[in-house]
Amino acid sequence: MRGLMRKSVLAALAGCAFVGSAHSQQPVTSFPVQLVDGEKKTDADWKLLSADEVTKPWNICVLFPHLKDSYWVAADYGVAAEIRRTGTAMTLYEAGGYTNLSTQLSQMDNCIAQKFDGIILGAISADGVGPLVKRATDAGIPVIDFVNGVKEPSVSGHALVSFYDLAYKTGKYIVEQSDGKPTVVGFFPGPQGAGWSDDAVRGFSDAIKESKVEIAVTRRGDTGLNVQLDMINNALQTYDKLNWLVGVDIAAQAAAVAVRNANLGGKVSVAAFDIIPPVYDDIAAGAAKASPTDFTVLQGRLAVDMVLRLLQGQKLQAKRAGPKPQMVTAETVKSVSKTDMFAPAGYKVEFSIEATKK
């Protein structure tokens, strides 16, 4: 099964020359975060455990919804880099896409049965994974909700940046750019039912309330590039008054292509509510306007640190924390650390790392 999984992922990443390994980045020991308690957000510094503070070769199961795009490749890089730095072990399973909840549930069930020490979970469905999260924590296996959101109260920790907040930032940016003029948006926030996507819908909608920015069309679907490109092309053909195309990272990447192909540059602008290298490059080149970054690599490091702290018997600084987001625009694009956001050029996805700690 692992061999088939590896083959399917590498096929999905065809055309991307990922070579190299996670230990190539300079060591990271701390970074700015927001600690979240309900509606309260507190700025803080998160100090990672040193390798010497990790006393056992803990074995971590990592579950991702897919590895179809560079966002989750960056997530793998962050997780793998921290696993290597601490001398611990991991096995990564990816479900192949947001339509494959049953696959992820089977993978998680196997991780519980195999008695992994901890689980880092990029959930396909915030609700759908709940019973297995409860089963794992009841069995003494800490589960860290990573990136996407999990609603089950027994989850051990949340290493993520709110997609409500990210999409809210993008919405407020577009309101500012509209300068009080009527502005029409096509919105492509990702798959219905995925917690992060539903949060983004609420955040963007709240941001544009009481403004002259309106959403003319919302299309939901899997985050595959071709899926998003088809929906965006259809929207451009159907709605001829669109001023902005806004969406999840891969949708923004597709939108820049669609705008260029339709010769709509200067008429239709593009923005994302999270960032991947193609969106970063489009902002730098002027093909997209803006995106907040959630510092995906740092989120991966944070998730590993959280699960290791719990396994070491420590309390978390906060049950929910994430890197402090920052807006990336043409003015700021050169000043934001790429190594905290993206896997390095030439990185090869790592599915399995053996512990070096004895």
Q: Residue 66 falls within a domain, yes or no?
A: yes
Residue 1 is predicted with a pLDDT of 31
Tell me the pLDDT of the chain averaged across its residues.
92
pLDDT number for residue 15 = 34
Quick one: pLDDT at residue 184? 98
Both 111 and 121 in one domain: the answer is: yes
Q: What CATH number has the domain bearing residue 303?
A: 3.40.50.2300
| Domain coverage including residue 63 | 44-161+295-323+337-353
Look at residue 30 and tell me if it is in a domain: no
My answer on whether 223 and 306 are in the same domain is: no
| pLDDT > 90: percent of the chain | 90
* 16 within domain boundaries: no
> CB atoms < 10 A from the CB of 315, how many?
8
Say yes or no: 151 and 112 in one domain.
Answer: yes
Cα torsion through 90, 304, 97, 200, rounded to 10: 180
Out of 60-64, 193-197, 303-307, 312-316, pick the least confident: 193-197
Residue 230 lies in a domain: yes
Question: Does 342 reside within a domain?
Answer: yes
pLDDT at residue number 26: 61
> Same domain for 275 and 307?
no
Nearest-10 crossing angle of helices 249-261, 277-285: 40
Tell whether 83 and 191 lie within a shared domain: no
Is residue 140 included in any domain, yes or no? yes
Residues 225 and 268 reside in one and the same domain: yes
Q: Tell the residue number behind the tokens 């997209």, with chain if given.
A: 288
The upper half-sphere exposure of residue 356, i.e. CA atoms within 13 Å in the direction of its Cβ, equals: 9
Do 272 and 191 sit in the same domain of this protein? yes
Q: Are 58 and 204 found together in one domain?
A: no
* 171, 157: one domain: no
Highest mean pLDDT among 5-9, 15-19, 158-162: 158-162
Is 328 within the bounds of a domain? Answer: no
Statement: residue 20 has pLDDT above 70 = no
Residue 55 vs residue 2, higher pLDDT: 55
**HEC string for the chain:** CHHHHHHHHHHHCCCCCCCCCHHHCCCCCEEEEEEEECCEEEEEEEECCCHHHCCCCCEEEEEECCCCCHHHHHHHHHHHHHHHHHCCEEEEEECCCCCCHHHHHHHHHHHHHCCCCEEEECCCCCCCCHHHHHHHHHCCCCEEEECCCCCCCCCCEEECCCHHHHHHHHHHHHHHHHCCCCEEEEEECCCCCCHHHHHHHHHHHHHHCCCCEEEEEECCCCCCHHHHHHHHHHHHHHCCCCCEEEECHHHHHHHHHHHHHCCCCCCCEEEECCCCHHHHHHHHHCCCCEEEECCHHHHHHHHHHHHHHHHCCCCCCCCEEEECCEEEECCCCCCCCHHHCCCCCCCCCCCEECCCCC
pTM higher than the cut 0.75: yes
**How many structural domains comprise the chain?**
2
Lowest mean pLDDT among 36-40, 127-131, 235-239: 36-40
Express each pLDDT in 94-150 by its tens digit. Answer: 999 999 999 999 999 999 999 999 999 999 999 999 999 999 999 999 999 999 999
pLDDT at 288 over 50: yes
